[in-house]
Amino acid sequence: MTRLSISLTALFIVGCASASSNAQRSSMPLAWELTDGVKSPESAYFDEASGFLFVSQIGDGGATGKDGDGYLSKLTPDGKVVALKWIIGLNAPKGIRSHDGRLWISDIDQLVEIDIAEGKILSQTPVPDAKFLNDVTCTPDGTVYVSDTTGCKIYRLHDGKVEVFAEGEELEYPNGLLVLDGKLVIAAWGKPNDDFSTDIPGRLFTLDLETKEKTLITPEPFGNLDGLEPARGGQFFVSDWFAGKVYLVDSNGKSRLLLQLPKGAADIGTVPSERIVIVPQMMENKISAYRMKPPEKSD
């Protein structure tokens, strides 16, 4: 959705556990955890083509600080550090997605393009009028979508041109994004108060990429939603930043709590082949990976 303030950082898997136990009583076992060199991790993303896990780290300067101390880390799927500060000189990097050998990262008011093989920045595209760029997703043709949570907009970058794709309060202050089957799946935060709490939290819904028709997945207000990843059987992994929860949500909007963590469960990633869900714990300066248990066999 930092160190700017607890509220500002807010802009940003089976069984229940209390926050004090930090999910240790969850039926999802901890696969690995990383704390050394971790500073306000916001997004985790596994790039299947390269086989590496990338994590955006906001650093010490806060979620809107244009201070150049943000960086991108490169890890193996089992949590080994390849390069802690693989890409440096960013400000407050957040959402990450890849397309055709490139990573796209949001960074406050610009989209950063990185060549994965070369490990270098290729472009930095300003997004005019952006307030708080957050999550990123890509279509098969390489179109990039990015949410502006506090601006209540979704921008689109195609052929080098940035434009507003959708805007207005019906977007419910969008955070997590995912392109799936011709639709843009959106995990919304809800309209924030001054401290970024909400009177009415956000929901999970879709916008048709052609018609922009909105279809609810969770009919009722659901949470201050942040991370969003596809799961098996048309389900979704969704994180609630403020509540520190990670859910599994089916296509009918039924949710199941997977993890209870401290406040700050940010933009989750997955390694599907390993059945691992990776949670950047922003307020804990920690990256945690949990392994999904195989489905129980029925009699």
**Is the pLDDT higher at 196 or at 12?**
196
Residues 133 and 106: beta-carbon distance below 8 Å: yes
Residue 111: what pLDDT?
98
- Calculate Rg over the CA atoms of the chain: 17
Q: What are phi and psi of 168, to 5 degrees?
A: 115, 165
Residue 295: what pLDDT?
53
Residues 160 and 153: beta-carbon distance below 8 Å: no
User: 149-193, pLDDT tens digit by residue?
Assistant: 999 999 999 999 999 999 999 999 999 999 999 999 999 999 988
User: 212-228, pLDDT tens digit by residue?
Assistant: 999 999 999 999 999 99
Mapped onto helix, strand or coil, the DSSP state of residue 282 is helix
User: 52-106, pLDDT tens digit by residue?
Assistant: 999 999 998 888 889 999 999 999 999 999 999 999 999 999 999 999 999 999 9
Calculate mean pLDDT across residues 36-46: 97
Given a cut of 90, is residue 23 above it in pLDDT?
no
Domains held by the chain: number:
1
CA dihedral sign, ordered 101, 130, 72, 264: negative
Residue 89: what pLDDT?
96
Residue 194: what pLDDT?
81
Calculate mean pLDDT across residues 226-237: 96
**Is the pLDDT higher at 60 or at 237?**
237
Calculate mean pLDDT across residues 269-287: 97
Over the chain, what is the mean pLDDT? Answer: 90
Find all residues with CB under 8 Å of 128, minimum gap 6, and list them.
162
Mapped onto helix, strand or coil, the DSSP state of residue 95 is strand
Whether 296 maps to a domain, the answer reads: no
Residue 20: what pLDDT?
35
Calculate mean pLDDT across residues 239-243: 97
Helix (H) or strand (E) holding 147: strand 144-148
Expressed in angstroms, the distance from the first to the final Cα of the chain is 43
Residue 294: what pLDDT?
65
Whether 184 maps to a domain, the answer reads: yes
Whether 299 maps to a domain, the answer reads: no
Tallying the residues shown for the chain, one arrives at 299
> Domain with 171 in it: what CATH number?
2.120.10.30
| Strand ordering across the sheet containing 52-57 | 41-47, 52-57, 70-75, 81-90
d(CA 59, CA 143): 28
Calculate mean pLDDT across residues 130-157: 97
Among 17-21, 203-207, 222-226, 271-275, the range scoring the smallest mean pLDDT is 17-21
Residues 10 and 290: beta-carbon distance below 8 Å: no
Whether 297 maps to a domain, the answer reads: no
Domain span at residue 249?
A: 6-291
Whether 298 maps to a domain, the answer reads: no
Calculate mean pLDDT across residues 122-126: 98
